[in-house]
Structure 1
Amino acid sequence: MAALPMGMGVLTSKTFAATLPPLSEDAPNAKALNYVKVAADAADHPAFKEDAYCDNCMFWQPNTNGCTLFQGFSVEAKGWCQSWVKRPG
């Protein structure tokens, strides 16, 4: 029984995280980093690299589809922004 409150807190956090609102390409912070929901849309950007997607970036949070650069929002797995850095490993 003692672990129940802690377990409920974790469940609540994961439930909240799973419902993060999607980041709009029109949001000021998205525009500042040239975020696009479809990476191919950024192919003409000088920082773009082939196979660079949110889901293989070091800032990607796979359990929430979140990004540490866009706190409180989910991003598209196959999206891209100019801050993309290959995830180690």
Structure 2
Amino acid sequence: MKSCRRSFMLTVVGVASSLMLPYEAWADAAPVLESDTNAQALGYRTDARKVDRAKYPKFQPGQACANCQFFQGKAGDATAPCTIFAGKLVNAKGWCSAYVKKA
């Protein structure tokens, strides 16, 4: 339960802080590293094929940052800002446990 609460709080903080950044700020953004604290808490992988399915059973094949509602890029972008990882870019082929399919 502690891990779920921590992931939720990191998600809330990420979304709230990303709303404060102007779009131009993303131009110089660094990529999210799998070793980043927030990335580790959310199980972020730059390649969704490498997700630990035993640890993240909600992961389904076909899920990727590119088709997540938090991905701020256009179709075909290799990387783009993500509202979960404020100020950083995620790989379109990546995945984290905050994944929510785009509507």
The TM-score bracket by the shorter chain reads: 0.7 to 0.9
Of all paired residues, the percent bearing the same amino acid is 39
- Bigger Rg, structure 1 or 2: 1
Matched, 1:41 2:62: no
The 5-angstrom pairing of residues 9-48 of structure 1 reads: 13-14=23-24, 16-42=25-51, 44=53, 45-48=56-59
Give me the TM-score of the superposition, normalised by structure 2.
Answer: 0.67
Of 62, 70, 75, 1:51 maps to 62
- How large is the Cα RMSD of the aligned pairs? 1.9
Q: Structure 1 residue 35: deviation in Å? A: 0.2
Q: Structure 1 residue 50: deviation in Å? A: 1.2
* Contact 2:73 2:81 survives alignment (8 Å): yes
SS, match of residue 75 in structure 1:
strand
Structure 1, gaps ≥5 residues long: 1-12
Residue identity matched to 1:50: P
* Corresponding position of 1:71: 86
